[in-house]
């Protein structure tokens, strides 16, 4: 394992594949709870036109033994800025990478994408069954309504 990103000066990774995603021990593995990360200014590129795509990404997970370290998550998400992929690919790839790294009890991701070609595309993915007793608030992102 490489040295953690936290506490080091590092630049934005050139691609999601090259990005490091650090994990840290969960200080409360005996408690089932929810952690949420929100990235309201997520960007990637259309793989066909090269034009920028924008999304509001919400990641909810119930950790087990590991937590994702937030600086590494920020850099990982930022690495999509110059990455060409469809909305569905970006959203599911983020979830799969987090699952592989953390092995959470439960994870869901909502990718609320702004319109491309006049059509907004929202992508939702969930892995596992929600553990009993975990409070999961709404993701808080309204459906795209345009101007009116």
Break the chain into its structural domains and give their ranges.
43-127
CATH class of 43-127: alpha beta
Model confidence at 7, pLDDT cuts 50, 70, 90, reads: low
Which tokens is 47 given?
A: 């793989």
Say yes or no to pLDDT of 9 above 80.
no
Task: Name the catalytic one among 46, 64, 89, 122.
Answer: 46
The C-alpha angle 138, 26, 57, rounded to 5 degrees, equals 30
Q: Which of 55, 128, 49, 119 is nearest to 87 (CA)?
A: 55
Q: How far apart, in whole angstroms, are the C-alpha atoms of residue 78 and residue 94? A: 12
Task: Name the catalytic one among 22, 53, 60, 90.
Answer: 53
Model confidence at 143, pLDDT cuts 50, 70, 90, reads: confident
Residue 78 CB partners (closer than 8 Å, separation 6+):
12, 13
Is-catalytic flag, 53? yes
Say yes or no to pLDDT of 24 above 80.
yes
Average pLDDT, the chain: 92
- pLDDT digits 0-9 by tens, 32-89: 999 999 999 999 999 999 999 999 999 999 999 999 999 999 999 999 999 999 999 9
Is-catalytic flag, 90? no
Model confidence at 6, pLDDT cuts 50, 70, 90, reads: low
CA 113 to chain centre: 13
Model confidence at 10, pLDDT cuts 50, 70, 90, reads: confident
Q: Which of 94, 106, 99 is nearest to 34 (CA)?
A: 106
């Amino acid at each position: 394992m490489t040295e953690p990103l936290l506490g080091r000066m590092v630049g934005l990774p050139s691609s999601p594949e090259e990005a490091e995603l650090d994990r840290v021990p969960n200080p409360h593995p005996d408690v089932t709870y929810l952690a949420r990360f929100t990235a309201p200014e997520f960007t990637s590129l259309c793989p066909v036109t090269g034009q920028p795509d924008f999304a509001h990404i919400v990641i909810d997970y119930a950790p087990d033994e590991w937590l994702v370290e937030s600086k590494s998550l920020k850099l990982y998400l930022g690495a999509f800025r110059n990455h060409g992929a469809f909305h569905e690919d970006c959203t599911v790839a983020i979830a799969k990478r987090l699952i592989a790294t953390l092995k959470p009890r439960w994870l869901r991701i909502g990718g609320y994408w702004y319109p491309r070609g006049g059509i907004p595309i929202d992508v939702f993915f969930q892995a596992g069954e929600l553990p009993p007793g975990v409070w999961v608030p709404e993701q808080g992102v309204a459906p795209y309504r345009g101007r009116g």
